[in-house]
Amino acid sequence: MIKNISQRSALILLMVCAPLAAQPLSREQCIEDARQMVRLVEACHPDPYERTGGKMEYNLAFHRLLTAIPNEGMSVEDFWWRLSGFLALIGDGHTYLYPVTHPDAQHPGGIPVRFRVLADSVLAVERVPAFCDPSYIGSRVVTINGIAIDSLVRRVATLYPMENMFDRFRNLKIYLWYGEYLKRLLPDWEPGDPVTLQVMHPAGEYRVLTLATDPQDDYQTTGQAESSLHLPNTTRCDFVFDWIGHDDEIGYLRIDKQDEFREYAEQAVAGLSSIGNPAVVREYRRHYLSFAHQWHERYYGNPGPDSLELIIETLPSFTEFMVDVTSRLKQNNTRDLIIDLRNNRGGISLMSDILIYFLFGKETLNDIHSDGYVITYHSELNCRAASSLDVAALNRSRAKDQSVPLQIGDYDFYSMQKWLDKDEESKGASVPAVEFSGTKTFSREYVSGEHEGWFTPEHIWVIGSDGTFSAGYETLVSLIKSGATFVGVPSAQSGNCYGMGVEPVKGLTHSGIRLQVSVRKIMTFPDNPQFGYQIEPAIPLDFTAYIQYGYDQHAAVLVTLDHIYGSR
């Protein structure tokens, strides 16, 4: 399970490596790789001890990891799970191991049921296998193989790094679907064994449902009939706009991901200017072009030109998209806009900034930027791994108001100090244009201010889910801080967390296991630890609402529409 990250310009964002083949490792090799991993984490992460009980407890947990390695050694896959369990103690959803094997998406082998997480921490049956009675759709799951759901939620958090309670639920759904993961969650279960669910049936009674599992089956499932809503799809592009409602008078903006767009590509290429090694730059450009071809083919049906600069100019632009969207909203004097982030699993923050600029303007964007802070660890390894951590460039940009220049090895408290020192004089300020100099498409618009705050509907409703993560979560929070009403299910992302992941090495020496490590502490809600852990929707999609709307896949949108019409 690879999570999405918010790093701005590092090659590792785009590189995808083939899964490693399982191979035996000796005990000595396991110990060496485990020590290497811990050294890398400590060399990159701002504070891996915060949630482990301190440095002593962290090292005690690592000691226990080492002593538990069998004398006969381990397979790479089993070793991966041991290391992952250790990283889970850090509680950072952006510090994790890349998988060495991937489950078979065609033959998942776990429980042949699709589950939905609801705002009141209920795990509900959303889809059932074709051979199952469809009346079980909408059931609330009580136990699985006799284990209560809250116990499974705690157990899954010991296997993989997770942020908050809804991150645990989000991952639990995946662990239940894939047999290779389920056997780690249920140690007494083997692939192919049946699974027993105790559920509260929609008829209002407890029932026991026993389901066969089969690692060779392709798991065809069935859900409710077609939704009563017909929403635009994101097949060609991750952002789309249309009109919905009784008379198509409500704006509907959907953003499923925040990376495959022109401004991101511009920013990534601009980041190469700080790299002095021509060979490294050529390698970056080769990978960037490969991914630009994929994005172009998705949108246009063909891979496009072989020139990186030319193909970037043809990629879909979120700036141009928002000019069109806000112009249409303004022309119709639209009262209500729904922004659907339910499937937004992340990308980069730039898209969030562009969205806020067009809907609310520079002052609101600046207020959001200053309503929190980040602390970045500029270790020598981090600076080598991410071109955006250029100490010299940061010192130049802060020459007027930074009394002590940064050095490699420093923690950067500049943002935190700005937050501490903010006062009324900062009201009405704008984010400096240099922040967007890496993307010429948006930079031109930002400098001109032509469409700044072009149109702000009276009511903006933002829909989120447990799948709204990383940069998608940033967009959710930015809209909430701008006055939007949050509908749906809490995000699996915590606002006060760690982020900006780097890959410090290509793989651990003996196992080849790859890892990502956070280099930055992010404080989205410095004054509100409760919100910083988990932000709750103003209008929750809970179990009662899910039943009320007939288990519709777009129940959250239906809830929103009813609130819109009910408020008029």
Provide the β-strand partners of residue 501.
Answer: 518
CA 86 – CA 39 distance, rounded (Å): 13
- Residue 240, C-beta contacts closer than 8 angstroms, at least 6 positions apart: 232, 233, 234, 253, 254
**Distance (Å, whole) CA 552 – CA 181:** 28
User: What does the pLDDT read at residue 426?
Assistant: 60
Residues 152 and 218 reside in one and the same domain = yes
The verdict on residue 125 lying in a domain is yes
Measured CA to CA, the distance from residue 99 to residue 18 in angstroms comes to 10
Q: Which two tokens stand for residue 247?
A: 């008379």
Q: Which of 79-93, 278-292, 334-348, 423-437 has the lowest mean pLDDT?
A: 423-437
Q: Inform me whether the pLDDT recorded for 387 exceeds 90.
A: no
The answer on 470 and 354 residing in a single domain is yes
**277 and 290 co-located in one domain:** yes
> Average pLDDT in the 166-187 region?
94
- Cβ pair 414, 538 in contact under 8 A: no
In this model, does residue 326 exceed pLDDT 80?
yes
The helix/strand/coil state of 506 is coil
290 in the same domain as 246:
no
Q: Is residue 500 part of a domain?
A: no
Q: 2 pLDDT exceeds 50?
A: no
Query: pLDDT at residue 19 above 50?
Result: no
Query: What SS3 class is residue 412?
Result: strand
Show the tokens assigned to 326.
Answer: 């806000």
In this structure, how many other beta carbons lie within 10 angstroms of the beta carbon of residue 419?
A: 19
Contact 175, 182 (CB under 8 A): yes
Instruction: pLDDT band for 5, please (50, 70, 90 cuts).
Output: very low
Q: What is the pLDDT of residue 400?
A: 83
- H or E element in which residue 211 lies: strand 206-211
Question: Across the chain, which distance is largest between two alpha carbons, in Å?
Answer: 72
The answer as to whether 279 is a domain residue is: yes
Q: How far apart are alpha carbons 258 and 493 in whole angstroms?
A: 15
| pLDDT over 60 (residue 17) | no
If asked whether residues 244 and 205 sit together in one domain, one would say no
The DSSP line for 101-168 is S---SSS-BS-S-EEEE-TTS-EEEEEEETTS-GGGTTPEEEEETTEEHHHHHHHHTTTS---SHHHH
Q: Does the residue 375 lie in any domain?
A: no
Mean pLDDT of 440-458: 97
Find where tokens 């898209």 sit.
Answer: 351
Judge whether 411 lies within some domain: no
| Structure tokens belonging to residue 366 | 């600046």
Q: Is residue 296 part of a domain?
A: yes
For residue 423, the model assigns a pLDDT of: 65
pLDDT for position 96? 96
Mean pLDDT of 131-160: 95
Same domain, 334 and 457: yes
Among candidate residues 54, 101, 45, 109, the one with its CA nearest the CA of residue 511: 101
Instruction: Round to the nearest angstrom and report the end-to-end CA distance of the chain.
Output: 43
Decide: helix, strand or coil at residue 378: coil
Q: Which of 195-209, 395-409, 506-520 has the lowest mean pLDDT?
A: 395-409
Q: Are 311 and 296 in contact (CB under 8 A)?
A: yes
On the question of pLDDT at 550 being above 50, the answer is yes
**Average pLDDT value for the chain:** 91
Q: What is the pLDDT of residue 9?
A: 32
For residues 372 and 264, give the distance between their C-alpha atoms in angstroms, rounded to a whole number: 23
Q: Tell me: do 330 and 463 sit in the same domain.
A: yes
| Residue 425 pLDDT > 70 | no
Domain that holds residue 560: 238-253+318-361+453-488+538-568
CA dist., res. 67 & res. 77, Å (int): 18
Question: pTM higher than 0.85, yes or no?
Answer: yes
If asked whether residues 462 and 327 sit together in one domain, one would say: yes
Read off the CATH number of the domain in which 171 is found.
Answer: 2.30.42.10
Lowest-confidence pick of 9-13, 252-256, 304-308, 450-454: 9-13
Mean pLDDT of 481-507: 94
3-state secondary structure 242-309: EEECCCCCEEEEEECCECCCHHHHHHHHHHHHHCCCHHHHHHHHHHHHHHHHHHHHHHHCCCCCCCHH
Into how many domains does the chain fold?
3
Q: Is the pLDDT of residue 119 over 80?
A: yes
Same domain, 475 and 333: yes
Query: Which of 470, 466, 518, 531 lies closest to 165, judged by CA?
Result: 466
User: Which tens digits make up the pLDDT trace of 22-81?
Assistant: 579 999 999 999 999 999 999 999 999 999 999 999 999 999 999 999 999 999 999 999
Does residue 147 sit within a domain?
yes
Cβ–Cβ < 8 Å for 177, 129 = no
Question: Is the pLDDT assigned to residue 544 strictly greater than 60?
Answer: yes
| Closest by CA position to 126, among listed 547, 566, 562, 548 | 547
% residues pLDDT > 90 (the chain):
79
Amino acid at 520: R
Identify whether residues 155 and 193 lie together within a single domain. Answer: yes
pLDDT tens across 244-260, in order? 999 899 999 999 999 99
Closest to 475 in 3D by CA, of 377, 357, 388, 566? 357
- Say if residue 460 is in the same domain as residue 331: yes
Least confident of 73-77, 342-346, 428-432, 498-502: 428-432
User: Could you tell me which residues come within 8 angstroms of residue 45 by beta carbon, excluding any fewer than 6 positions away?
Assistant: 90, 92, 95, 377, 498, 517, 518, 519
Instruction: Evaluate whether residue 175 is within a structural domain.
Output: yes
Q: Does 194 share its domain with 205? A: yes
Structural Rg of the chain based on CA atoms: 24
Q: What are phi and psi of 324, to 5 degrees?
A: -70, -45
Span 426-439, average pLDDT: 83
Flag whether pLDDT at 163 surpasses 70.
yes
